[in-house]
Chains A and B, each alone.
Chain A
Amino acid sequence: MVTAADVVVPAAAKPLGATPAGVKLQVQNVSHHFASQGARLDVLDRVTFAVDPGSFVALVGPSGCGKSTLLRLIAGLEAPSEGKIGAAGVRVVGPDPSRLLVFQDPTLLPWRSVRQNVALGLEARGVLDRERHRVDDVLRLMGLEQFADVFPNELSGGMAQRAALARVLVNDPRLLLLDEPLGRLDSLTRMTMQAELLRLWRGAKFTGVLVTHDVEEALLLSQTVVVFSARPARIVDTLPIELDYPRHRDDPAFVALRRKLLSIMNLARDL
């Protein structure tokens, strides 16, 4: 039986450039609601937490509880109804290439080759000519060299998600927001990609926020797990994970943490 922990977690990959360290993320008293057809739908209820620069936090909770909305707010794609979000001490007022999102779907632009997709951010900011070499660096880092000129619809799910990761990493994000990025992958690919995420994070030193409803994934990757309630999402508990990387699913300490986390989530008796 192969587990992700058995896959050798490689030495930290070298950062792509003069990589700046991750930034501090502050979420203060953030509430959010949607108004649709006169009805008000509350999704976030006074959420407050902070993530230290360069650390990796997992947000877990029932599906549909509003975690993804929180990531969109942090990314600056929408403004919170109440409360403040700060990145690197500056209030978030809109999207910025230093804070990047990876979705569950790779959402690669289907008319662009993998290389062109990866180059999207550089092109959008008009620096592609100057920094074209970074595209090749990232393709190599993600093991995508052979697929550089392939269109997304020719890629497998795992490769497409790699390309999606490459597309954000080429911009050297200081805060990487991962919205169940591995949710659609088969379990073996998923394990490989978990190790890969860990390698990338340890190499590039960005601050990572991972939304997942896979408890093991949260425990394998993150230094802190923040547990949310059902909608409207409140923070139920915050669990520090002080295990060394790489972590092993059969390590007694890991098993104990998993049981603890599941009981916080009221899931223990079902399993």
Chain B
Amino acid sequence: MSEIIESAGAEGVPRAPGDAAPRVAARRTATIEPWASGRVAVALWVLAAVVTLVWRDQTFWSRTRLLAAIEITVAIAVALVAALPALGELRARVSPNGHWLCATALGLTAWEVLTAKTGILPLPFFPPAQSVLEVYTDDASRLVESTVYSMLLLVPGYLLGGAAGFLAGVSIGWSKSAHYWGHPILRFVGPLPATAWLPIAFFFFPSARSASTFLIALSTAFPVAVLTSSGIASVSKSYYDIARTLGADTRFLITKVAIPAALPNVFVGLFMGLGTSFAVLIVAEMIGVKAGLGWYLQWAQGWAAYANLYAALVVMALVFSGVISLLFVVRDRVLAWQKGIVRW
């Protein structure tokens, strides 16, 4: 008896433990080798700092020295990571991005030369890097405040829409009558961009804020509902057969079989909904809410403050990609079973 179990057990081991070892060793030796792109990056960042500091600006910019200081700091940091054995782990993580470090330094230098140093690219549309930097040093409070306002609008709307879309999708995917009534509405109304509802929403809702929350929720709910319902509808029938013979009732089938099986789809819907909700957020802020990053963009444009505009765009990119990363972290947690990683 033990013989049978043992032989079968060995056959079931998914991956030999020795497999990973050679790869780890190879990586370790790679970090001891000189980091060529790192050396080039140090040189290029020093060059950027020298150009910024030594070459005279055409007009006065208050943050030129700060910019140069940042550039030289980056150069020193890269040099330390490249040289110090103690930072080997950090280097292993940074070194694949060596080419990006070089390109960033070159791009920054080119930007400096074309704007502040020669004026080939004219103001006010092409502000130099130090003027964008100035926005962060001098207008930080307003940017932070706008970001907070944007999040306070986005998060409730998105969560509301995600929940509504999920519930609608589960009902439409599961129940025949919900599908009969819900599906045509979804097909007919769903493709309308949420921004098309803007004039009506601002008329019906008591405040611009509630109208915008509704629109963000609407734009999120559509893709979530569509993908959830198709996920529920395509769950393998044999899962239900198994669960039914084991004594599952309808409630169990929905919550423990249908919904978990549809979750990969739900997350695709949540991801798509996040994209559309960003668009609605910015438009709603520009038109109605008078606060948040969308409003900041429009305010900056009204003053022809293009540096502020670029600064806000960078913040927006960071915040939104951060929010998307957060969604992916949650997804990877919830769908850990999909990835097939060995967990012991």
Binding site for B on A (CB under 8 A): 7-8, 10-11, 13, 72, 75-77, 95-97, 99-101, 103, 105, 107, 109-113, 120-121, 123-125, 143, 146-147, 149-156, 158-159, 162, 167-168, 171, 189, 192, 195-196, 199
Contacts and interface: CB of A to CB of B under 8 A. Distances in A.
B340 A153 contact: yes
Contacts of B263: 111
27 contacts: A8-B1, A10-B1, A10-B4, A75-B245, A77-B241, A95-B247, A96-B247, A97-B246, A101-B242, A109-B239, A110-B337, A111-B260, A111-B263, A111-B337, A112-B337, A123-B252, A123-B256, A124-B247, A124-B252, A147-B12, A150-B344, A152-B337, A154-B342, A159-B12, A171-B246, A192-B7, A196-B4
Given A101-B241, A101-B242, A153-B337, A111 B247 contact: no
Given A8-B3, A149-B344, A150-B343, A156 B246 contact: no
Contacts of A105: 238
A155 B340 CA distance: 10
A151 B337 contact: yes
A55 B4 CA distance: 24
A155 B14 contact: yes
B336 to A, nearest CB: 8
Given A100-B246, A159-B12, A199-B1, 16 more contacts: A7-B3, A13-B1, A72-B241, A97-B247, A101-B241, A107-B238, A120-B243, A120-B248, A143-B6, A150-B14, A153-B340, A154-B342, A156-B12, A192-B4, A192-B8, A195-B4
Interface string B28-41: 00000000000000
Nearest to B244: A95
A196 B2 CA distance: 11
Contacts of A7: 3-4
Interface of B is mostly: helix
A8 B257 CA distance: 39
Interface string B225-266: 000000000001011011111111100100011001101000
B184 interface: no
A101 B338 CA distance: 26
A105 B260 CA distance: 20
B11 interface: yes
Contacts of B239: 107, 109
The 6 closest A-B pairs by CB, nearest first: A159-B12, A10-B1, A143-B5, A121-B246, A124-B248, A97-B247
Nearest to A101: B245
A55 to B, nearest CB: 21
B228 to A, nearest CB: 16
Nearest to A164: B242
Contacts of A77: 241, 244-245
Nearest to B240: A77
A7 B335 CA distance: 40
B247 A146 contact: no
A179 to B, nearest CB: 10
B9 interface: yes
Contacts of B337: 110-113, 151-153
A109 B337 CA distance: 10
Nearest to B241: A77
A191 B260 CA distance: 35
Given A123-B256, A124-B248, A107 B242 contact: yes
Nearest to B3: A8
Contacts of A155: 12, 14
Interface in B276-325: none
A99 B6 CA distance: 30
Given A111-B337, A155-B12, A149 B256 contact: no
Nearest to A125: B247
B252 to A, nearest CB: 5
Contacts of A103: 238, 242
A75 B335 CA distance: 32
A147 B5 CA distance: 13
A76 B245 contact: yes
A124 B246 contact: yes
Interface string B1-29: 10111111101101000000000000000
Contacts of A96: 245, 247
B180 to A, nearest CB: 21
A265 to B, nearest CB: 28
B274 to A, nearest CB: 23
A188 B8 CA distance: 10
Contacts of A75: 241, 245
A139 B263 CA distance: 28
Contact of A151 (B4, B238, B340): B340
Contact of A189 (B8, B247, B261, B336): B8
A13 B2 CA distance: 12
A159 B8 contact: yes
Nearest to B5: A143
